[in-house]
Amino acid sequence: MKIKSIFAASVLTMTALLSSPVLASEQAVSFVQDKVAQMLSILSDSSLNEAQKEDKFQQQLLQTADVNVIARFVLGKYAAKANAQELEKFSYAFQLYALSVYQSELSNFGSEVFEVKNSEERRPGDSVVLTTISGGSMDGKSEEIKWRVLEIKGTPRVVDVEISGVWLSQHQRAEITGIITKNGGDVSAASKVLCARSSQCHYNG
């Protein structure tokens, strides 16, 4: 009986270990599929005015991406040097900036056809999903978009997007660390610059 239980447990563990990468990757694919479909549907919803569209779209973005994880990433080597208060202020300013950037980059989309091509797992809980977008504003062309999806606290979240060969979080890291380096390693300098770009940002420090 005991041997049977041990055997069953081993088989279950092995099955779980072998199948978890596939499941994780499939989870990433369906997450991207669902979230992009929801975002495109908001952008193409003619019953919403611009302000409502912007509000709904930003809420959707926050459910899709993990802005805190991205904020730490774009700080690069300075993330480890910043204290908790600096990190919190930076995350706040970065979130407002990132939302406005993604809003302006993606607001031209709406009626496009979105398709998942494949996915590749980097390690368990870390996948890249390859998609194509065509039709609508694409002027007869098809563009590849890659999504980096991490499993964060058991939930999939997008942390980077590659369009036309450019990973946006990596690009933002180059800009943010550039500002901090210019200001002698002062993280708050980047927070101030980001905050100045958003009318909603009220930064005191």
How far apart are CB 72 and another protein at their closest, in Å?
A: 5
Distance CA 152, CA 156 (A): 6
CB 53 within 8 Å of CB 38: no
Q: Is 29 in the site for another protein (CB under 8 A)?
A: no
DSSP string, 137-149: GGTT-EEEEEEEE
Using CB under 8 A as the criterion, what x/- string covers residues 55-74 for binding another protein? -------------xxx-xx-
Find all residues with CB under 8 Å of 175, minimum gap 6, and list them. Answer: none
Distance CA 87, CA 199 (A): 20
How far apart are CB 3 and another protein at their closest, in Å?
A: 39
How far apart are CB 42 and another protein at their closest, in Å?
A: 20
C-alpha 1 chain-centroid distance: 48
48/76 with CB nearer another protein: 76
Residue in 75, 98, 70 with CA at minimum distance from that of residue 178: 75
3-state SS, residue 183: coil
Q: Is 132 in the site for another protein (CB under 8 A)?
A: no
Which listed residue (35, 53, 89, 146) binds another protein by CB under 8 A? 146
Q: Is 195 in the site for another protein (CB under 8 A)?
A: no
Residues that bind another protein (CB under 8 A): 68-70, 72-73, 79, 101, 104-105, 120-122, 128, 144, 146, 148, 150, 152, 159-160, 162, 164-167, 170-171, 174-176, 178-179, 181-182, 193-194, 197
